[in-house]
Structure formats: C-alpha cells, structure tokens
Amino acid sequence: DQQVKQNSPSLSVQEGRISILNCDYTNSMFDYFLWYKKYPAEGPTFLISISSIKDKNEDGRFTVFLNKSAKHLSLHIVPSQPGDSAVYFCAASFGNTGKLIFGQGTTLQVKP
Amino acid sequence: GAVVSQHPSWVICKSGTSVKIECRSLDFQATTMFWYRQFPKQSLMLMATSNEGSKATYEQGVEKDKFLINHASLTLSTLTVTSAHPEDSSFYICSAKESGAYNEQFFGPGTRLTVL
C-alpha cells in the first residue's frame, strides 16, 4: 500500500529551464509534506516543506505547490542547475509524530 | 544547519554476527530519532521510532528482537542488527527531530551494511 507515490522514476531537463517533480498521496490525514534531495550512499537533505493549510511555499529557486483536493504536490526548481542532479523524494506526515512516509523518488538529471 | 552523524559509514560482517550502528545529533538535542532502511533503487522505509528514555516503537513487519534500538541520551541512538543475515544487507539511515520542532528531520549520511 504505497501511500505516497512518485510516478516518474526519472526526469531530464536542460540547464536554466524549469524542473517539475510530482508527487501524489492517498491518505487525506497527511498534514505536512516535505521534499528531500539525496545523492547515492548519502542521507537525504531537507529542501522545503509545506503545511496542508497552505497551497504554496517558496524558498529561493524551490517552490512547492499543494493541491489538497487532488492529493497532489509538486516541486518546481527554476532555473535548474547541473548541481541539482540527484534523487528527489517527497515525504508526508500527519500530526506531530515525525513519522515520514516517503515516495519512491525521482532521479533528476540537469544537462549543461 | 543541524548535523546528524552515523558511525560506521560502512560495515561488512559475517552471517550470524551482530552489528551496532550509532546515530548522533551533533548540535541539537533530539528527543526522537528514526531509523530507516533503503534497498537499492527503492524508497526509504521507516523501521522504528526511537524515543529518548523509553522503548522504541517499531513499524509493522519489523522484528524488534532483531533490530534492537537504544536511545540513551538526547544526542545518541543506536541500532543493533542481531544475528545478521545476507538479507539484512541494506543502507540504514537515521534521522533526528529537534525537540519542539514539527516534522522536519535531519538525516545522517547512512550506513551501508553488507552481510556475507
């Protein structure tokens, strides 16, 4: 039972363009969503988060959009840079448990 | 930002032996730490929640007698894989949640366990 899904295993984008990574969830009890960036053989690095009471959160080149009715969130990176190439995981949680349910990850490749 | 360390970064052991992995929050206190496991090309799966001073809570399907967790202080949690078998070979990652913070967690660099 995959409660958090990232249906695109990979994405390739040209440097300078926008990268859009998508994530869907099934549990309407989730009230907090996070995006992490991960390199092979390393732990995830926190990027940005959003509470379910908001529909947008922006931090520099990263913006997360939340569509609760569609149970969908997306991470926009603009402009994309080659250093952004990594695996991106979305994660969801509810309450203040701290438990994170991760999606399968999307490998982003930004080409120079 | 907050730093979480793990030790060792990699370990190779023989089948049947036990392996201890340490997770430390270096510059903050963490009343709660989490242990995840990641198999190749798969997602991170939560194994257990480690609370300082109390017993860990395990996710469904995770054997508590095989994966012993101790959270003896606000900056240290340990995971011991007992009687390791080749199928336990995986990438183990811990995370720490700062006391009073909501759900943001900081992850350690992970430990690659290979059981021969």
Q: What is the pLDDT of residue A75?
A: 98
HSE (side-chain half, CA atoms, 13 Å) at B114: 6
- pLDDT for the residue B79: 96
- Predicted local confidence at residue B98, as pLDDT: 79
Per-residue model confidence as pLDDT tens digits over B51-105: 888 889 999 999 999 999 998 888 999 999 999 999 999 999 999 987 766 667 8
| Residues of chain A positioned with their CB less than 8 A from the CB of B102 | 32, 96
Would the pLDDT of A84 be above 80? yes
Continuous segment of H or E residues that includes residue A91: strand A86-93
Q: Which domain holds residue A67?
A: 4-99
Residues of B in contact with A36 (CB under 8 A): 107
Average pLDDT over residues A22-44: 92
Contact yes or no for B107 and A89 at CB 8 A: no
CATH number of the domain residue A71 falls in? 2.60.40.10
pLDDT at site A19: 98
Residue A63 lies in a domain: yes
- The total number of structural domains that make up chain A: 1
Of all residues in chain A, the one with the smallest CA distance to B34 is: A99
Report yes or no on A31 lying in a domain: yes
**CA-closest candidate to residue A30, choices A70, A56, A58, A3:** A3
Res. B1 pLDDT band, cuts 50 70 90: low
Of A32, A49, A102, the CB nearest to B44: A102
**Band of residue B39 on the pLDDT scale cut at 50, 70, 90:** confident
pLDDT of residue B101: 66
Q: Is A94 part of any domain? A: yes
Whether A82 is in a domain gets the answer yes
Q: Which of B116, B90, B84, B108 is nearest to B12 (CA)?
A: B116
Task: List beta partners, residue A8.
Answer: none
pLDDT at B102: 65
Domain membership of residue A105 (yes or no) is no
**CA-closest candidate to residue A110, choices A24, A21, A4:** A21
Q: Evaluate whether residue A109 is within a structural domain.
A: no
A24 within some domain: yes
Residues of B with a Cβ under 8 Å from any A Cβ are 4, 6, 32, 34, 42-46, 49, 91, 93, 95, 97, 102-110, 112
Residue A107 in domain: no
Instruction: Indicate the average pLDDT of chain B.
Output: 91
Q: Which residue has the higher pLDDT, A73 or B31?
A: A73
Task: Please compute Rg for chain B using Cα positions.
Answer: 13
CB contact under 8 A, B105 and A41: no
The sign of the dihedral angle between the CA atoms of A51, B98, B61, B108 is positive
